[in-house]
């Protein structure tokens, strides 16, 4: 999938701030596939933009997704697909997903737009879904990033 200029710029900036414990899919190591069950392509439910490992335990502590807009259907799909996954493959090594933070960063809407109001609607629904269902996400953060 071809990423937009804004998506690429933000992904590189966040990746640089998260080094050396972060991996990015687009230009470093190939896809960061998230799996449910065995790590076979048929069980791949999602791909991450950035995966951050704990420097001491080498466990996945955060997955970062970057979106060009706050699209409720897409955001909800990312959360649900990620939440049901239980492993991630990085450079041929499988990592178990448990108690991770999912951070979704979206492009800030233009001044005067009502798109940010959608976040107030979907965030409580997603928080409840995470709390009441068994999955790998323990914390969900959804935030805008400047348009620059």
Question: pLDDT tens, 15-44?
Answer: 888 888 898 876 556 788 899 988 788 888
Length of the chain in residues, anyone? 148
44, β-bridge pairs: 35
CB-CB neighbours of 97 under 10 Å: 23
How much is the pLDDT for 118? Answer: 84
Residue 103 Cα to chain centre, angstroms: 6
User: pLDDT below 50 — which residues of the chain?
Assistant: none
User: 48 burial class (0-12, 13-18, 19+ CB within 10 angstroms)?
Assistant: buried
Check: pTM over 0.85? Answer yes or no: yes
Q: Other CB atoms closer than 10 Å to residue 83's CB: what's the count?
A: 22
Before 35, cis peptide (omega within 30)? no
The token pair that represents 13 in the structure block: 């900036």
Structure confidence at residue 29 (pLDDT): 63
Residues above pLDDT 70, as percent of the chain: 93
Which positions ≥6 away from 136 have C-beta within 8 Å?
Answer: 82, 83, 84, 85, 86, 97, 98, 99, 100
pLDDT value at residue 82: 96
pLDDT of residue 27: 59
pLDDT, position 19: 82
Please report, for the chain, the start and end positions of each structural domain, with discontinuous segments joined by +: 5-145
Q: Quick one: which of 72, 74, 62, 47 has its CA closest to 125?
A: 72
Q: Thinking of the domain 5-145, which architecture would CATH place it in? A: 3-Layer(aba) Sandwich (3.40)
Residues 6+ apart with CB under 8 A from 110: 147
């Amino acid at each position: 999938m071809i990423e937009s200029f804004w998506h690429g710029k933000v992904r590189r900036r966040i990746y640089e701030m998260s080094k050396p414990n972060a991996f990015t899919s687009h230009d470093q190591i190939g896809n960061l596939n998230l799996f449910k069950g065995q790590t076979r392509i048929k069980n791949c439910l999602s791909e991450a933009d950035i995966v951050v490992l704990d420097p001491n335990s080498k466990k996945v502590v955060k997955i970062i997704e970057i979106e060009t807009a706050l699209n409720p259907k897409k955001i909800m799909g990312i959360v649900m697909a990620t939440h049901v996954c239980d492993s991630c493959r990085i450079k041929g090594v499988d990592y178990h997903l448990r108690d991770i933070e999912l951070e979704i960063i979206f492009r800030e809407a233009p001044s005067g737009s009502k798109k940010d109001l959608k976040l107030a609607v979907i965030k409580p629904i997603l928080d409840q879904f995470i709390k009441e269902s068994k999955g790998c996400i323990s914390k969900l953060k959804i935030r805008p990033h400047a348009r620059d």
